[in-house]
Structure 1
Amino acid sequence: MSTTESPRTTAGTTEAGTSEAVAAGGQAVKETLEDYTLRFAPRSYRRWTPMVVATTALGGIAYMADFSIGAGIGLAHGTGNALLAIAVAAVVIFITGFPLAYYGARYNIDLDLITRGSGFGYHGSVLTGVIFASFTFIFFALEGAIMAQGLRLGLGLPLWLGYAVSTLMVIPLVVYGMKALSRLQVWTTPLWLLLMVGPLVYLVAEDPGTVDRFLSYAGTDGDGAVSTASVMLGAGVCLSLIAQIGEQIDYLRFMPPKTEANKRAWWTAVVMAGPGWVVLGALKQAIGVFLAVRVIAEVGPAAAPEPIRQFRGAFEAMMPSWTVIPLAVALVVISQIKINVTNAYSGSLAWTNAFTRVTRRYPGRMVFVLVNLAFALALMEADMFSFLGGVLGFYSNCAIAWVVTVATDIGINKYLLKLSPLRPEFRRGMLHPVNPVGVVAFTASSGLSIALYFGLFGESLQPYSPVAAAVIAFVLTPLMAVVTRGRYYLRRADDGIAEPLLDPDGNPSAVVLDCHVCRQPYERPDLTACLAHDAAVCSLCLSTDRKGEHVLPATA
């Protein structure tokens, strides 16, 4: 099974089965296009420094939706409630995002692959894959709508045409995966920061009274007094962003191996670009409240949450009139490109993962780039922006239930109870199809929280649906692990290959072996032994093995 040996095929593999697997393997040979969609990201590809990976990952949170989300909460409930809601959500997102970011960076796999081995099973995580894919096209639609608003204000384009432009322009940028995205995010981030931060600093310095008006704003739904219900309603909207950690991990999986020499830079990058994204996100939401309060008298409460209106007002205070519209439009367009290439990229990974496991066919990542964009364009044309709060409030229940379940499995079931395997597993044959630990915890927590959200248990409990999603998932995940005694995590503990999975530093091994089906070399963590042959088979060929000829049997 060395890279110099010719892969051999023995009796037991049908011609049709082999040809299908070879075709699937050939489809993914150009990994610069496919970007290791369904598999471990090998060391040979991960040539970026920790800081380059972190900068690329943080570039993906340049979205303008934070300004709209913060503005919507602040205008409805007042500044005090909005700031508390933003803070509560940020704490939850940081705590739950940390273990996920660590596992993604340490073991070089995306959140779907982490979810498989952290309570859901090989097929059980298809459900959460679809939820994550939904997150990407919901937020693509939101960002596309914001860009269309900017193009209408700056260029006079009708909204329907702006939606189409914002959708089609990302296709050339997302084709080449991480290599192209890293360059895009690194080079555009300084300009984006300057355009975003400059007006805010100027407004605070030149007119300190804007801060007082911002802090005293009471909102349209009450007297501005802080109330638990208002804070929870606002936090529920903010917590819809909890699934953003999945997009951060899509970049963090390309982190270099952690060693004694780079451990400080490695940890800094993981924390900063993993759970640390929410610090910048929370600041943007608070800025959104500030800018909306400032322009509400001029544009009205309906238009105040639109980022293009907010930044137009800010630029008008500090720049000549002829520069205002171009600068505001430039900020919106740069932000939309930075985030929507990430949304399209991450969505294509999620859809491809789910589709391949269900159908055992691998059509290629680019097919699902187009699928994701089609869903997003449909939402934009349906005027999603006008009912933003309702969509995000509902969606947050599912996202919270998923992320809290996986984070709890890592933090408690793996490290405290030691019922879940410490090293994440994702390969077919090594996992049970469904693990009741995660599936039951997720289904119960999301189902009950959605029932609360729609008022089935009374209006007084309705604001607490996000709390219910988090608490139920946190309690049920370890409880189910104890009840099942961890029996449904691993279908077998030995993958049949003598070479260790990890190197002496605890990083995934860089030893290369041949897959005898697709005849391509892969690093050790991506392969298992083959049932029918004295050879190794890669994870993608296992995923597309329709007859299960290569899948190892279960062991006691």
Structure 2
Amino acid sequence: MAQREAVHNPPPAGSSAPDYATGRSVDAATRETLEDYTLRFAPRHYRRWTPGVVAISALGGIAYLADFAIGANIGIAYGTTNALWGIAIFAVVVLLTGFPLAYYAARYNLDLDLVTRGSGFGYYGSVVTNVIFATFTFIFFALEGAIMAQGLELGLGIPLWLGYALSTVIIFPLVIYGMKALATLQVWTTPLWLVLMVLPFAYLVISHPESVGDFFAYQGEDDTAPSVGSALLAAGVCLSLIAQIAEQIDYLRFMPPKTAANRRRWWAAVLLAGPGWVLFGAAKQVIGLFLAVYLIAHVAGAAAIANQPVHQFLEIYQDLVPAWLAMTLAVVLVVISQVKINVTNAYSGSLAWTNSYTRVTGHYPGRLVFLGVNLLIALVLMEANMFDFLNTILGFYANCGIAWVVVVASDIAINKYLLGISPKKPEFRRGMLYAVNPVGFGSMLISAGISILVFFGGLGETLRPYSPLVAIVLALVLPPIIAVATRGRWYLRRTDDGIDLPMYDEDGNPSDQVLTCHVCGQDYERPDMVACQAHGAHICSLCLSTDRTGEHVLPEEQPASASPQAVTTEPTP
């Protein structure tokens, strides 16, 4: 493949590079994606944060109060013992499945969609997982927005419908500027959030030690005895949060290169902010249940509001400080928590929708378009009063989220590192991957489909509580079975990207060598580039994604014995 010299000077300001496939300017796409590398590999020159800053930014996104509501809901439904076992199952599953995903994303600086493409799903096959993730973001955006609206109604007398709208609108300007703005917001708001969250729990344990005994004795509104089925039903609701690892990865992809000098700090940041998020999440669920049980036992008429975080904190604050200050602290906590998580929900959701749309249509409409779409869907859910059917929504969604995350984790841990069938180095670029890989795509559809059938009682009421376990087991074992059966045939369409420069440096980190895309005229680092089939130059992954004719896409690699006529180009989407 012919090569040309790497050019390090972008086109003059205001110039417009043509898109040879569509005849339109790609300036809008390049300008927006260069801010946070929306649809592409995150280059080394942009990743200037320390491991500690990346970790704090990622953990700032788990400030949501939904955990308190989830913990309260499952405790009220199934009792403390079943809820605690459910939370423990949830934590173990997330720790085990989150580790390979977090490591892969931080090591190779890719978001979970790009990781999913090369981990058994294919270039177009991972579109369905993007939709699953986008669904996760607007469900939890709506849940957090509803909690904020409850706080605004209680503290400022703002009607719920208006509070829903305000909690949605204030997020939009905060998300426009991508990772740089989000990192600053998360770092500066975390200390205050921690104090406001921990204070009520610590106060109750110290000043009302009898509340601990009440907590462990509580058996729910229906006096539910401890049982495996109830514990698994509780775990299923909690496991709706399994896709949170994708939001953690949206930050972890900006980790600096791992070197001998920063090795310990790098690993600590990845483990804590990656799978480690669940330790904080599980703790919040336990605290939410603890506060709910206290309210039910000690506050008259509190049973109806015990699962609402704003009321949980308000009641405890009122024991500590004057009523006006208690109300202020409760509202501040709710607003800070909602903003910290919903900027992440909105940001990650806009990435997921944009990525899917761009791949399927070959057109990049701009991340802000789908930011608006995600927020609008969340607002509709809030206005529909999702609290009334929260457990059903989360229990159903958990099956889809589990299927996706566990399949990717299985492919990385088993197919890549244990069996060696799946290529160990990640691949995400168009032309290098087949459109759909049955290993991941097929495994996810089967595991999600059967577990949803179980969830709705399609295989009998006896099996119904076990739907999360069904999803986990099938998603774990199917990828290696299908990979062995297909002999890894559908992972890579090509092994050579046509560029005679190493992809990784001596430490195994993605290379920082710079090449110029001949379509948009921008400079990008080596892992984002592919040789162009039509022009003998280099093309970046985004311009390749928006190539509607397929003329830039490299042909499928033919076996050594194949004739030249056997070479085919990728079909036009």
1:526 aligned to 2:528?
Answer: yes
Could you say which residue in structure 2 is the equivalent of 1:337? 339
What do the CA deviations read for 1:10-60 (whole angstroms, capped 9, x no partner)? xxxxx9851737623542224454x11110000010000000000000000
Could you say which residue in structure 2 is the equivalent of 1:222? 223
CA distance in 1, matches of 2:350, 2:8: 34
CA distance in 1, matches of 2:301, 2:250: 38
Q: TM-score, normalised by structure 1?
A: 0.97
How high is the sequence identity, in percent, across the aligned residues?
65
Question: How far 1:363 moved relative to its partner?
Answer: 0.9
Could you say which residue in structure 1 is the equivalent of 2:402? 400
Selected match of 1:349 from 351, 354, 357: 351
Could you say which residue in structure 2 is the equivalent of 1:267? 267
CA distance in 1, matches of 2:195, 2:30: 39
Could you say which residue in structure 2 is the equivalent of 1:386? 388
What do the CA deviations read for 1:262-316 (whole angstroms, capped 9, x no partner)? 0000000000000000000000000000000011243433311000110011111
Could you say which residue in structure 2 is the equivalent of 1:164? 165
CA distance in 2, matches of 1:527, 1:43: 14
What aligned pairs does 1:62-461 form with structure 2 within 5 A after superposition? 62-223=63-224, 225-296=225-296, 297-461=299-463
Question: How far 1:532 moved relative to its partner?
Answer: 1.2
Does the Cα contact within 8 Å between 2:7 and 2:523 map onto a contact in 1? no
Could you say which residue in structure 2 is the equivalent of 1:61? 62
Q: Which amino acid aligns with 2:138?
A: F
Selected match of 2:477 from 451, 475, 478: 475
Q: Which amino acid aligns with 1:450?
A: I
Structure 1 stretches of 4+ with a deviation exceeding 6 A read 5-8
Could you say which residue in structure 2 is the equivalent of 1:12? none
The number of residues matched between the two structures is 548
CA distance in 2, matches of 1:211, 1:29: 55
Does the Cα contact within 8 Å between 1:21 and 1:545 map onto a contact in 2? no
CA distance in 2, matches of 1:137, 1:43: 31
Does the Cα contact within 8 Å between 1:25 and 1:540 map onto a contact in 2? no
Could you say which residue in structure 1 is the equivalent of 2:568? none
Output the aligned Cα RMSD: 1.5
Q: Which amino acid aligns with 1:70?
A: G
CA distance in 2, matches of 1:265, 1:161: 45
CA distance in 1, matches of 2:191, 2:157: 28
CA distance in 2, matches of 1:482, 1:19: 38
Does the Cα contact within 8 Å between 2:21 and 2:549 map onto a contact in 1? no
Q: TM-score, normalised by structure 2?
A: 0.94
Moved more, 23-32 or 161-170: 23-32
Could you say which residue in structure 1 is the equivalent of 2:561? none
Structure 1 338/7 Cα, relative in aligned 2: closer, same or farther at 3 Å?
Answer: closer
CA distance in 1, matches of 2:7, 2:430: 26
Does the Cα contact within 8 Å between 1:28 and 1:364 map onto a contact in 2? no
Q: Determine helix, strand or coil for the equivalent of 1:427.
A: coil
Structure 1 80/243 Cα, relative in aligned 2: closer, same or farther at 3 Å?
Answer: same
Does the Cα contact within 8 Å between 1:137 and 1:372 map onto a contact in 2? yes
CA distance in 1, matches of 2:389, 2:398: 15
CA distance in 2, matches of 1:22, 1:420: 37
CA distance in 2, matches of 1:28, 1:485: 38
CA distance in 2, matches of 1:470, 1:483: 21
Structure 1 137/116 Cα, relative in aligned 2: closer, same or farther at 3 Å?
Answer: same
Selected match of 1:542 from 536, 541, 544: 544
Question: How far 1:199 moved relative to its partner?
Answer: 1.4
Structure 1 379/5 Cα, relative in aligned 2: closer, same or farther at 3 Å?
Answer: closer
What do the CA deviations read for 1:189-246 (whole angstroms, capped 9, x no partner)? 00000000011111111110111111111111234x3100100000000000000000
CA distance in 2, matches of 1:27, 1:435: 28
Question: How far 1:5 moved relative to its partner?
Answer: 7.5
Does the Cα contact within 8 Å between 2:33 and 2:39 map onto a contact in 1? no
Does the Cα contact within 8 Å between 1:32 and 1:177 map onto a contact in 2? no
Does the Cα contact within 8 Å between 2:82 and 2:231 map onto a contact in 1? yes
CA distance in 1, matches of 2:199, 2:119: 43
Could you say which residue in structure 1 is the equivalent of 2:510? 508
CA distance in 2, matches of 1:21, 1:171: 31
Does the Cα contact within 8 Å between 2:10 and 2:522 map onto a contact in 1? no
Q: Determine helix, strand or coil for the equivalent of 1:39.
A: coil
CA distance in 1, matches of 2:340, 2:101: 23
Q: Determine helix, strand or coil for the equivalent of 1:29.
A: helix
CA distance in 1, matches of 2:118, 2:180: 28
1:2 aligned to 2:5?
Answer: yes
What do the CA deviations read for 1:397-447 (whole angstroms, capped 9, x no partner)? 000000000000000000011000001100000000000001110000000
Q: Which amino acid aligns with 1:465?
A: S
CA distance in 1, matches of 2:260, 2:9: 37
CA distance in 2, matches of 1:6, 1:322: 59
Q: Which amino acid aligns with 2:234?
A: G
Q: Which blocks of at least 5 consecutive residues in structure 1 are unaligned?
A: 9-14
Moved more, 297-306 or 24-33: 24-33
Does the Cα contact within 8 Å between 1:21 and 1:518 map onto a contact in 2? no
Q: Which amino acid aligns with 1:313?
A: E
Q: Determine helix, strand or coil for the equivalent of 1:522.
A: strand
Q: Which amino acid aligns with 1:143?
A: E
Q: Determine helix, strand or coil for the equivalent of 2:524.
A: strand
Q: Determine helix, strand or coil for the equivalent of 1:58.
A: helix
Does the Cα contact within 8 Å between 1:21 and 1:541 map onto a contact in 2? no
CA distance in 1, matches of 2:349, 2:10: 34
Q: Which blocks of at least 5 consecutive residues in structure 2 are unaligned?
A: 12-16, 559-573
